[in-house]
Structure 1
Amino acid sequence: MSQPRFSLDMPAPSTSLWDWQTHAQCRPLDTDLFFPREGEGHGARIRRERTAKEICQSCPVRNQCQNHALSTGEPFGIWGGTTEKDRRHLRQPRITRCGEISRVSSPQTH
């Protein structure tokens, strides 16, 4: 008796949502530079974040990285040249001159 054949017609794998990461300048670097370490002092954190942000400045996928962090609510690390605190600030509602509340939906570009 032959075994029944199952055919799964699955879509082809797609990397369109994360392919940008393969072009990031940080890819070959140690992730410790971009994420806080347990017991890291305030001064060490500031120096680490400054170094990471400098790497992000000239990264060809900086905007995609920052958009990813903002859209997913990434709570840790440096993404697209922004810290956790920077991203919280970017997501906060703003009062416009007309008194309307707006929310920053796209990252700042420098």
Structure 2
Amino acid sequence: MSNNYLDPISRRRLPNYLTGLPSLSDWHQEAACAGFDTELFFPVKRGQAEAAVAICRRCPVVRRCHEHAMQLPESFGVWGGTAARERGWTHAGKRRKFEDGAEAS
């Protein structure tokens, strides 16, 4: 089954494997972070996420953003008011393991 989804920039048809992903377009435009520099939401050092999390606290779509981060999953950055580490990721983008050997879910 072919799709009719076009990339708005290149105007090329998007591959089928991308069209099944949850869309950001239905909610991200309402986000409190819209218009902010994206670097703010992808901190390099531990402790730099506070400013992004503060923006998330006043966001009307914070729950949807967090659900998006958990569904894909987003292994880097602040999504839905949580840093990657809080969502179970290491600084290298790998799932954290707990002392009992289980991976974060």
If the TM-score is normalised by the length of the shorter chain, which range does it land in? 0.5 to 0.7
Alignment of structure 1 residues 51-62 onto 2, 5 Å? 51-62=51-62
Q: Paired residue for 2:32?
A: 25
Instruction: Pick the structure with more strand per residue.
Output: 1
**TM-score of the two chains, using structure 1 as the length reference:** 0.58
Alpha-carbon separation, structure 2, partners of 1:35 and 1:49: 8
1:63 aligned partner, one-letter code: R
Alignment of structure 1 residues 38-57 onto 2, 5 Å? 40=45, 45-46=46-47, 48-57=48-57
- CA-to-aligned-CA distance 1:87-107 (integer Å, 9 cap, x gap): 118x99xxxxxxxxxx97xxx
Alpha-carbon separation, structure 1, partners of 2:36 and 2:83: 18
**TM-score of the two chains, using structure 2 as the length reference:** 0.60
1:29 aligned partner, one-letter code: F
Q: Paired residue for 1:72?
A: 72
Alpha-carbon separation, structure 2, partners of 1:17 and 1:64: 11
CA RMSD in angstroms, aligned pairs only: 2.9
Q: Paired residue for 1:88?
A: 88
How many residue pairs match? The answer is: 77
Alpha-carbon separation, structure 1, partners of 2:87 and 2:30: 22
Alpha-carbon separation, structure 2, partners of 1:77 and 1:25: 16
Q: Percent of pairs identical after alignment?
A: 38
Name the CA shift for 1:12/1:36 in 2 (closer, same or farther; >3 Å): closer
Larger radius of gyration: 1
Name the CA shift for 1:74/1:10 in 2 (closer, same or farther; >3 Å): closer
**How far did residue 51 of structure 1 move?**
1.0
Name the CA shift for 1:11/1:82 in 2 (closer, same or farther; >3 Å): same
